Amino acid sequence: MTDAGRGTRPATLGALLDELAPRLPDVRTARAGARAEWSRGGVAFAAIDDDALEVRLDGPVAAAALRTPDTSEASRGRPWVRFAPPELDDHAIDRATAWFELAYRRAAAT
């Protein structure tokens, strides 16, 4: 993932999601300070707070995600997953991007 095609890596998860969200139709963003929540069709599918991403995934995908580094159960309960990588490297960017897009697609089916 690059910042607007310039070849730079987003500095934070928030910057990454701000780059991804406009590319997806029907996404709404609600912000309150450093917090943001993304929804589709009135269904929340992702949120960020303190530079940790929470995404609403399908049960089996959430279970698999919880077996990867830097993840834990989200305060929202299952099937939400919290992702808080200490560094936003290529692997973290790939996981955050994939989970954000999966959660977006799941919201349409809800």
Kindly indicate the confidence band of residue 9, based on its pLDDT and cuts at 50, 70 and 90.
confident
**DSSP labels, 53-96:** EEEE--HHHHHHHTTSTTEEE-TT-TTEEEE--SS--HHHHHHH
Looking only at the bridges linking them, the beta strands covering 52-56 and 71-73 are: unpaired
Average pLDDT, whole number, for the chain? 91
* 18-24 mean pLDDT: 95
The pLDDT tens digits for 38-65 are 999 999 999 999 879 999 999 999 999 9
pTM given for the model: 0.89
Confidence class for position 4, pLDDT limits 50, 70, 90? very low
Task: State the pLDDT at residue 50.
Answer: 80
